[in-house]
Amino acid sequence: MRLSRYFMPILKENPKEAEIVSHRLMLRAGMIRQQSQGIYSWLPLGKRVLDKVNAIIRDEQNRAGAIELSMPTLQSAELWQESGRYDAYGKEMLRIKDRQDRPMLYGPTNEEMVTDIFRSSVKSYKDLPLNLYHIQLKFRDEIRPRFGTMRSREFMMKDAYSFDLTREAAEHSYNKMFAAYLRTFDRLGLRAIPMRADTGPIGGKLSHEFIILADTGESEVFCHKDFVDFDIPGEHTDFDSVEGLQAIFDKWTSLYAATSEMHDEAAFNAVPEGDRLSARGIEVGHIFYFGTKYSEPMGAKVQGPDGKEHFVHMGSYGIGPTRLVPAIIEASHDDKGIIWPASVAPFDIVVINMKAGDQACDDTCELIYAALTKAGKDVLYDDTDDRAGTKFATADLIGVPVQIIAGPRAVANGEVEVKDRKTGARETMTIEAAINRFVA
């Protein structure tokens, strides 16, 4: 992508409305724009990051055996009347009427709709287990939308829903998502700790919130400090192994970890003082097992091996991609801007032409840009006629992991500079060596 032809509206000044660093940096880097309270456009640079986050979420959901579909944002109130949640949900639900005066709503979550899909076609235990997910916009009329897309009214959610014949089988489905979440957050460059959690309006019996420790987090959390160094399940984890996944779950729940709603002071005080971590955290995922809470009122049942009908045991599993993007920034930035983990960076490399219009600089940059693009890298080429200082500041602000800098003096020697955004380390090397480093 040539910056001269791209749309990346950088702000020079710090926006006054932003209270936390991630919100400030997302606005300054031209990633998002608020359209009305708590409702955002994702501008091209932000959209690139969001897409990469979603690709990792999708990859790990698929690995764990979940199947992607797409459900609509607008739902009929009827389904919610069946489950009893239409009246229970309260003011967070945006209620709408269509031209025939039929009550509709903008979905805050999809338990009812997916249960309806399930009951319309699954009739036998032989079709279980089943886990269906989508990545879709939600709307919750939050009382206090704030911190940019961290807590917005319209936001994106990956929500998965599992269906099983028995409680034991449902627990295995829960453990699959538990392990998938550990892997997902790790690939996003985050350390998320599963904590015992309250089930809220989703309801249910077993629930964990995945929390990232951050001073700007809205939740107060308490946990054993060893979680910070626990091993993440590897990519060859066997998601069909009941014992294997139970062992992962047992290990990751063996020490104290709870959000303030579930906090037990006495149990926490039993943790040796030096091992206690009491901190603020950002909830990036939440998983629930809720048994037959929706399948019973909505009549979602299958025939079991005993020939009888059984209400299915369900769970639901949410991750917030539009909250994850700012959460990653909270965890990874410095005073110059964002420092993206390579896995979600909007571009892999930025090529900075320090003197656009200078033939040698232009030729060198074009050569590098073409070679790296051909090798499948996402390259941003700063070919604008801004001053070099402005270009460096922009590159640091948008946090692309690698900068290749071509200035007249180095280029005259057949060389460029390669800078690592995270460490700030700079290395001068031949043009060929710079290309080869990233093509290999």
* Nearest Cα residue to 314 out of 209, 204, 240, 210: 204
Q: Which of 194, 281, 285, 401 binds ligand ATP (CB under 6 A)?
A: 285
Interacting span for ligand ATP (CB under 6 A) from 160-168, 280-288, 388-396, 421-429: 280-288
Q: Which of 322, 353, 394, 403 binds ligand ATP (CB under 6 A)?
A: 322
CB 219 within 8 A of CB 282: yes
Q: Which of residues 90-129 bind ligand ATP (CB under 6 A)?
A: 109
Q: Which of 24, 183, 196, 286 binds ligand ATP (CB under 6 A)?
A: 286
Q: Which of residues 63-102 bind Mg ion (CB under 5 A)?
A: none
HSE-up (13 A, CA, CB side) for residue 389: 1
82 binds, among ligand ATP, Mg ion, none (CB under 5 to 8 A by kind): none
CB 341 within 8 A of CB 399: no
What is the Cα Rg of the chain in Å? 24
* Nearest Cα residue to 86 out of 69, 70, 102: 102
Instruction: Tell me if 211 contacts ligand ATP by CB under 6 A.
Output: no
**30 vs 148 by CB, closer to ligand ATP:** 148
Size of the site for Mg ion (CB under 5 A): 1
Instruction: Tell me if 323 contacts ligand ATP by CB under 6 A.
Output: yes
Instruction: Tell me if 281 contacts ligand ATP by CB under 6 A.
Output: no
Instruction: Tell me if 140 contacts Mg ion by CB under 5 A.
Output: no
Size of the site for ligand ATP (CB under 6 A): 17
**CA–CA dist 32, 14 (Å, integer):** 14
**CA–CA dist 298, 84 (Å, integer):** 10
Residue 387 CB, shortest distance to ligand ATP, in Å, is 38
Instruction: Tell me if 293 contacts ligand ATP by CB under 6 A.
Output: no
Residue 66 CB, shortest distance to ligand ATP, in Å, is 15
Closest residue to ligand ATP, judged by C-beta, is 320
Q: What does the per-residue mask of binding to ligand ATP show for 137-176, with x meaning CB under 6 A?
A: ---x-x--------xx--x-x-------------------
Interacting span for ligand ATP (CB under 6 A) from 64-72, 93-101, 186-194, 317-325: 317-325
322 binds, among ligand ATP, Mg ion, none (CB under 5 to 8 A by kind): ligand ATP
Instruction: Tell me if 286 contacts Mg ion by CB under 5 A.
Output: yes
Interacting span for Mg ion (CB under 5 A) from 41-49, 161-169, 286-294, 319-327: 286-294
* Nearest Cα residue to 57 out of 146, 152, 115, 133: 133
Interacting span for ligand ATP (CB under 6 A) from 168-176, 240-248, 318-326, 420-428: 318-326
Interacting span for ligand ATP (CB under 6 A) from 110-118, 160-168, 225-233, 312-320: 312-320
Residue 207 CB, shortest distance to Mg ion, in Å, is 8
**200 vs 305 by CB, closer to ligand ATP:** 200
**193 vs 371 by CB, closer to ligand ATP:** 193
Residue 257 CB, shortest distance to Mg ion, in Å, is 15
CB 158 within 8 A of CB 133: yes
Longest dimension (CA), the chain: 81
CA 181 to chain centre: 10
Interacting span for ligand ATP (CB under 6 A) from 74-82, 228-236, 277-285, 391-399: 277-285
Residue 149 CB, shortest distance to ligand ATP, in Å, is 6
Residue 259 CB, shortest distance to Mg ion, in Å, is 9
Q: Which of 112, 116, 171, 283 binds ligand ATP (CB under 6 A)?
A: 283
Residue 57 CB, shortest distance to Mg ion, in Å, is 16
Which residues in this chain contact ligand ATP in the complex, by CB under 6 A?
Answer: 109, 140, 142, 151-152, 155, 157, 200, 283-286, 318-320, 322-323
Which residues in this chain contact Mg ion in the complex, by CB under 5 A?
Answer: 286
